[in-house]
């Protein structure tokens, strides 16, 4: 669709910008909401998956005969039950769900059982005999890139990769402009540092769960927790070699996704077990399985070099990013390479990125995938330059900030963006002037994300009682039902409580892309506004019929159809409810639809400010104060926008301080549980303060920008900069867990003593 440039005039909103009660709140706090694992069906079987204990092993054979004969077992499946699809992406998804010739990581599924009880299914798993030939493994990205590294799979290298790398390196990308060496020559000081970040998990509370049924005539139903029921239908129908129309996917309520539920892990397995057994099959992943075998983020190894003049002008920036995204090709490094320097207006910039396969689970998206680590490295070096040159970190960022007209490092010239406004707001905020105590440090970082639109389909029905039903196809992971309903109410001119928004199954609407890319409030909101406009046009037509005047002589204002002027006639306004009440008599039900591949999402920037205190005895970091500044374009429901900003900050704090995938020498995950994989909880944190800025996005009728992802980008660097200033030593590896901070302090002490 061509860009929708409706946001030209400043608009006064009545519903948008208010804070009504969340429509899903009561169900969630009373336990009524139905999540993936809550669904049951008559005759349902329990599905369980056998997983590889080896990080890398050839599967010589799998003997399922004893399991098949076990009491209560109704079906056992392996890769032999599936046919590899022709499409490479689909093939990778299937092989990740069920290993074919090799187990590629600790926890990789190798077989599955459906039985009448959990106990019977578990017992049957123990009877499956897998003959493995254990192979050398690699889990570290730098090791995986070496020419002599164990190769995960041959033939996956893209044409862009040069000589001298392992076959594990699947892709290479490069962005930038200008002469960077000339830029470094102009600098008064240049700093180059290397960084590493570990893989983290999205940490959604709800594990993956699904329930599959298969009829004898080849139709199937699947209920699951997902960020995209249409994606599940597309992928599963391809894997099951069935027509998409024969598979209906219904999304459950979702207990967190953050990108981790934008693909499938268990759904094809449940479908195949249901097909083979002829019974409904439910699979619920354990927390251990979620951590071992769903989709964590990439780990990274990065080198960043930046030059700066004495007065704080960045003269050149160069980043080399090496990401691993598990045992399959992964494009996330491209996002990181494009985002790394996006916050800066630079004459000379270059980013290079390599992806390497390792014996780890297949990476899935995690809020702004690829950007947090790259921007962490860049923002750390910027901060160190500020320290070295004695410059204020916010002043330096303001001096170099990208703005309208800036050519970004990835080639695009920005239009209206809110980075400078966020920086100025941070500079003026009382937090920035608050005194710091001993052992405390303050960190600043910018963040950026692209935001997307994509395929979207909405139906809006005007009910005969004057209420409005909106059906949309994107699972609500961040409050979208509220914001979509508010935009419908705003456009129609009715109260918010007259609108109910529901997320429907794949049979009810056309294709909707997954809930990702911070796209839903933007794209579904846009489609909802258009659908409401279509319904308004129809209601004006119905009123015109009743009044006996031309439809063009009727306008919609304040929730009513009105004659457009004195010449149109003298008729009292008809409300939506009055028109709806006689809809049958005036031609039938009234509805509006809109289907679109929405574009014009508009990029998003944010700035985070944090104070921490580092305990030099234990290496523990306490977050004392945290403030998020972010451009939302237009905050439809400010509570939810603030929630997104706070949630992203907290997940980023976890990434910075605690969370990491720890693999042992044996290539097995050492901390597959929430006791050892430590996410921050409320008691670890101060209240996260938020400042919403509103620089309207010209691509949306109300100026909306996505807000869901940008907020996880700055915390890694903001915390690292605060910790480094508090500890008096630059930390270059995440997470900055107490042992790492103590090691850095110990390493710095003799040096400091010598100086």
Partner 1 sequence: MVKVAIWGSLRGFTEGRAEIEVEAATTKEMLDKLVEAYPGLRPQVERGVSVAIDGFVYKDAWFTPIRPDSEVVLMPLMVGG
Residues making contact with partner 1 (CB under 8 A):
1-3, 158-160, 172-177, 202, 258-260, 262, 331-332, 334-335, 338, 350, 352, 364-369, 410-415, 449-454, 516-519, 597, 599-602, 699, 709
CA 643 – CA 10 distance, rounded (Å): 26
Tokens of residue 626, six digits = 């945290």
* Residue 560 exposure: Cα atoms within 13 Å on the Cβ side: 9
Which CB, 262 or 621, lies closer to partner 1? 262
Question: From CA 583, how far away is CA 562, in angstroms rounded?
Answer: 17
Rank residues 158 and 687 by Cβ distance to partner 1 and give the closer one.
158
Closer residue to partner 1 in complex, CB, 295/563: 295
Q: Cβ of residue 399: shortest distance to partner 1, in angstroms?
A: 23
CB count, 10 Å around CB of 443? Answer: 27
CB of 121 to partner 1, least distance (A): 32
According to DSSP, the β-strands at 440-449 and 349-356 are unpaired
Shortest reach from residue 616's CB to partner 1, in Å = 36
> For residues 142-180, b (16+ Cβ closer than 10 Å) or e, as one string?
ebbbeeebbbbbeebbeeebeeebbbbbbbbbebbebeb
For residue 259, the minimal CB distance to partner 1 (Å) is 2
Report in angstroms the alpha-carbon separations of 11 from 276, 635, 701.
58, 13, 10
Q: How far is it, in rounded angstroms, from Cα 59 to Cα 56?
A: 10
SS3 content of the chain, % helix, strand, coil (to 5): 30, 25, 45
CB closer to partner 1, 198 vs 613: 198
CB closer to partner 1, 158 vs 434: 158
Strands 281-284 and 45-51, sheet pairing: parallel
Cα 509 versus chain centre, distance: 23
Q: Which is nearer to partner 1, 82 or 376 (CB)?
A: 376
Question: By C-alpha distance, which of 405, 348, 322 is closest to 145?
Answer: 322
In the complex, the smallest distance separating the C-beta of residue 658 from partner 1, rounded to whole angstroms, is 20
Backbone angles phi, psi at 736, to 5 degrees: -90, 65
Provide the phi-psi class of 410: left if phi over 0, else alpha when psi is between -120 and 50, else beta.
alpha
Give min distance, CB of 25 to partner 1, in A.
Answer: 24
- Residue 518 beta carbon to partner 1: minimum distance, rounded to whole angstroms: 6
* Smallest distance from partner 1 to CB 586, Å: 36
CB of 417 to partner 1, least distance (A): 9
748 and 641 Cβ atoms separated by less than 8 Å: no
Closer of 257 and 393 to partner 1 (Cβ): 257
Q: Which is nearer to partner 1, 181 or 497 (CB)?
A: 181
Nearer residue to partner 1 within complex by CB, 272 or 523: 523
What distance in Å separates the CA atoms of residue 353 and residue 381, rounded to the nearest whole number?
A: 18
Nearest to 713 by CA among 624, 623, 647: 647
| Residue closer to partner 1, measured from CB, 20 or 256 | 256
Residues 107, 109, 112: CA angle, nearest 5 degrees: 130
Least separation in angstroms between residue 213's CB and partner 1 is: 30
Indicate the SS3 state at residue 85. Answer: coil
Question: What is the number of other CB atoms lying within 10 angstroms of the CB of residue 12?
Answer: 7
């Amino acid at each position: 669709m061509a860009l929708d440039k409706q946001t030209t005039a400043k608009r006064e909103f009545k519903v948008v910008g208010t804070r009504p009660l969340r429509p899903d709140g009561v169900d969630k706090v009373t336990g009524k909401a139905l999540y993936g694992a809550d669904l049951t069906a008559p005759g349902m079987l329990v599905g369980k998956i056998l997983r590889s204990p080896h990080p890398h092993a050839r599967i010589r054979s799998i003997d399922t005969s004893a399991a098949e004969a076990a009491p209560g077992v109704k079906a056992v499946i392996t890769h032999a039950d599936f046919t590899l699809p022709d499409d490479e992406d689909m093939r990778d998804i299937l092989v990740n769900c069920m290993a074919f010739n090799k187990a590629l990581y600790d926890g990789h599924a190798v077989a599955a059982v459906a039985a009448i009880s959990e106990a019977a299914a578990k017992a049957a798993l123990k009877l499956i005999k897998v003959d493995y030939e254990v192979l050398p493994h690699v889990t570290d990205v730098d090791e995986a890139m070496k020419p002599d590294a164990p190769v995960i799979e041959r033939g996956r290298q893209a044409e862009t990769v040069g000589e001298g790398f392992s076959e594990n390196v699947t892709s290479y990308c490069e962005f930038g402009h200008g002469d960077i060496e000339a830029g470094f020559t102009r600098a008064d000081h240049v700093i180059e540092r290397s960084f590493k970040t570990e893989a983290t998990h999205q940490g959604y509370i709800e594990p993956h769960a699904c329930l599959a049924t298969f009829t004898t005539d080849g139709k199937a139903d699947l209920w699951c927790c997902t960020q995209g029921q249409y994606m599940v239908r597309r992928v599963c129908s391809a894997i099951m070699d069935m027509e998409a129309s024969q598979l209906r996917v219904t999304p459950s309520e979702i207990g967190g996704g953050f990108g981790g539920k934008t693909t499938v892990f268990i759904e094809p397995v449940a479908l195949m077990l249901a097909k083979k057994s002829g019974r409904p099959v439910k699979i619920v992943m354990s927390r251990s399985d979620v951590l071992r075998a769903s989709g964590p983020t990439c780990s990274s190894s990065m080198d960043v070099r930046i030059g700066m003049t004495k007065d704080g002008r960045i003269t050149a920036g160069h980043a080399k990013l090496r990401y691993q995204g598990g045992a399959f090709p992964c494009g996330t490094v491209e996002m990181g390479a494009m985002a790394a320097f996006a916050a800066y207006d630079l004459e000379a910039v270059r980013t290079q990125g390599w992806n390497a396969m390792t014996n780890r689970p297949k990476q899935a998206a995690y809020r702004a995938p690829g950007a947090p680590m790259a921007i962490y490295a860049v923002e750390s070096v910027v901060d160190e330059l500020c320290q070295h040159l004695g410059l204020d970190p916010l002043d330096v960022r303001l001096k170099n900030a990208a703005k309208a007209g800036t050519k970004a490092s990835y080639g695009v010239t920005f239009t209206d963006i809110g980075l400078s406004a966020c920086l100025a707001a941070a500079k003026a905020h009382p937090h920035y002037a608050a005194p710091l105590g001993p052992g405390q440090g303050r960190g600043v970082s910018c963040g950026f994300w692209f935001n997307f639109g994509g395929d979207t389909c909405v139906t809006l029905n005007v009910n005969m009682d004057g209420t409005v039903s909106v059906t949309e196809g994107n699972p609500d992971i961040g409050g979208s039902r509220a914001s979509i309903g508010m935009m419908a109410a705003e456009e129609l001119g009715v109260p918010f409580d007259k609108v109910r928004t529901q997320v429907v199954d794949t049979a009810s609407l056309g294709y909707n892309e997954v809930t990702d890319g911070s796209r839903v409030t933007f794209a579904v909101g846009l489609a909802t506004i258009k659908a409401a406009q279509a319904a308004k046009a129809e209601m004006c037509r119905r009123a015109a019929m009743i009044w006996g005047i031309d439809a063009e002589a009727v306008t919609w204002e304040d929730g009513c159809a009105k004659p457009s002027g004195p010449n149109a006639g003298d008729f009292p306004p008809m409300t939506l409810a009055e028109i709806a009440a006689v809809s049958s008599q005036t031609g039938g039900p009234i509805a509006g639809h809109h289907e679109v591949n929405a574009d014009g999402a508009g990029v998003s920037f944010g700035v985070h400010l944090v104070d921490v205190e580092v305990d030099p005895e234990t290496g523990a970091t306490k977050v004392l104060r945290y403030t998020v500044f972010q451009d939302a374009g237009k905050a439809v429901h400010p509570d939810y926008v603030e929630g997104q900003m706070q949630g992203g900050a907290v997940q980023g704090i976890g990434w910075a301080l605690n969370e990491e995938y720890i693999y042992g020498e044996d290539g097995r995950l050492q901390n597959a549980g929430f006791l050892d994989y430590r996410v921050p909880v409320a008691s670890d944190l101060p209240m996260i303060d938020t400042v919403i800025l509103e620089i309207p996005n010209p691509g949306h009728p109300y100026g909306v920008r996505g807000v869901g992802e940008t907020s996880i980008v700055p915390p890694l660097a903001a915390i690292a900069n605060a910790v480094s200033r508090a500890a008096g030593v630059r930390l270059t590896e995440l997470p900055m867990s107490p042992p790492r901070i103590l090691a850095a302090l110990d390493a710095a002490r003799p040096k400091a003593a010598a100086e």
